[in-house]
Amino acid sequence: MNKPKMILFDYGHTLLYEPGFDSLSGEEVLFKHIKSNKNNLTPNQVNDFAQELFAKIGIVREMGLEIHQWQFQRFLYEYLEIELSISLSEAEKVFWDNTSAGAIMPNADKIVDYINNNDIRSGVISNIGWSGSALTERINRLLPRNKFEFVIASSEYMFRKPNPMLFELALKKAGLSSDDVWFCGDNIKADVEGSAAVGVFPVWYEEGTVENPWRAQNKGEYPKCDHLHIHNWVELIDVLEELK
């Protein structure tokens, strides 16, 4: 195990998470920006339809492809004959900020500070429907001292992890070989095995105090590749210290 020149991170339940996520709350606030509502729909009715619509596109995501939030919202409101008074980018921010303001995972700020202070480069690859600009804004707001060189949101690159091309894209952006890079994430298939498939060293981050839907899905499973298994970012700091 060699000290990495760069560490890449997953977003959800790795760096940040979204406590109290409530899509209805987001819809209720977004309703303040409605210009016309031909069918006099309520926030509850729109939210219920949005959940049905999201379930229908689930098969696309299971195929390893991503739907952008702007596409989703454009179809949703035009189909329901609702006109907003703000742009799709503004609507995305209003909606997401009011579904959950977000929070940092325990000690995520410490690992960010550590890699910055030790000249380890960093970036983010996330499976997410939100736009890259919205994701970057949220990361910068909650982890303001980060020096992430890039944030790759699957919404803007078609493919979802574990597709190897997302990891290969990150290597191209970094100008590094896979031997020089580590990837940290909580999902066994998408993050750990996905990064290992392109020769990036995987760190399985299995934090146990924050509620995480992947924990139940991962239960009883173990990555089918060499990896580092940690439960707290302080553990990773200790490992990196030993590699100095």
Residues 164 and 179 in one domain: yes
Residues 188 and 174 in one domain: yes
Answer whether residue 20 shows pLDDT above 80: yes
Residues 130 and 65 in one domain: no
Query: Cα(200)–Cα(236) distance, rounded to whole angstroms?
Result: 16
Taking Cα atoms as reference points, which of 7, 1, 11, 6 lies closest to residue 161? 11
**176: in domain:** yes
The string over 86-100, giving b where at least 16 C-beta atoms fall within 10 Å of a residue's C-beta and e elsewhere, is eebeebbbbbbbbbb
Each residue's pLDDT tens digit, 166-199: 999 999 999 999 999 999 999 999 999 999 999 9
Answer whether residue 214 shows pLDDT above 90: no
Which of 83, 99, 115 is a domain's end point? 99
Q: What is the CATH number of the domain that holds 184?
A: 3.40.50.1000
pLDDT band at 111 (very low <50, low <70, confident <90, very high): very high
pLDDT at residue 212 in the model: 84
Residues 140 and 223 in one domain: yes
**114: in domain:** yes
Domain that residue 36 falls in: 23-99
pTM for the model stands at 0.94
Taking Cα atoms as reference points, which of 170, 26, 34, 165 lies closest to residue 98? 26
Q: What H or E segment, with its residue span, contains residue 195?
A: helix 194-196
SS3 17: strand
**1: in domain:** no
Residues 173 and 192 in one domain: yes
Q: What percent of the chain has pLDDT over 90?
A: 91
Question: Judging by DSSP bridges, how do beta strands 82-84 and 34-37 pair with one another?
Answer: antiparallel
Answer whether residue 215 shows pLDDT above 90: no
Residues 54 and 67 in one domain: yes
Q: How many domains does the chain have?
A: 2
Query: Cα(125)–Cα(23) distance, rounded to whole angstroms?
Result: 24
Q: What is the mean pLDDT of residues 14-41?
A: 97
Average pLDDT, the chain: 96
Query: Cα(144)–Cα(83) distance, rounded to whole angstroms?
Result: 35
Residues 115 and 13 in one domain: yes
Residues 60 and 110 in one domain: no
Query: Cα(134)–Cα(89) distance, rounded to whole angstroms?
Result: 8
Q: What is the mean pLDDT of residues 32-40?
A: 98
Residues 161 and 229 in one domain: yes
pLDDT at residue 34 in the model: 97
**62: in domain:** yes
Residues 36 and 124 in one domain: no
Answer whether residue 152 shows pLDDT above 80: yes
pLDDT at residue 216 in the model: 74
Q: Give the number of other Cβ atoms within 10 Å of residue 193's Cβ.
A: 18
**222: in domain:** yes
Q: Which stretches of 39-178 are DSSP H helices?
A: 43-56, 58-62, 69-79, 88-99, 108-117, 132-142, 164-174
pLDDT at residue 211 in the model: 87
pLDDT at residue 221 in the model: 87
**230: in domain:** yes
Q: What is the mean pLDDT of residues 110-136?
A: 98
Residues 109 and 88 in one domain: no
Answer whether residue 217 shows pLDDT above 90: no
Answer whether residue 213 shows pLDDT above 90: no
Q: What is the mean pLDDT of residues 48-70?
A: 94
Which of 82, 99, 116 is a domain's end point? 99
Residues 74 and 111 in one domain: no
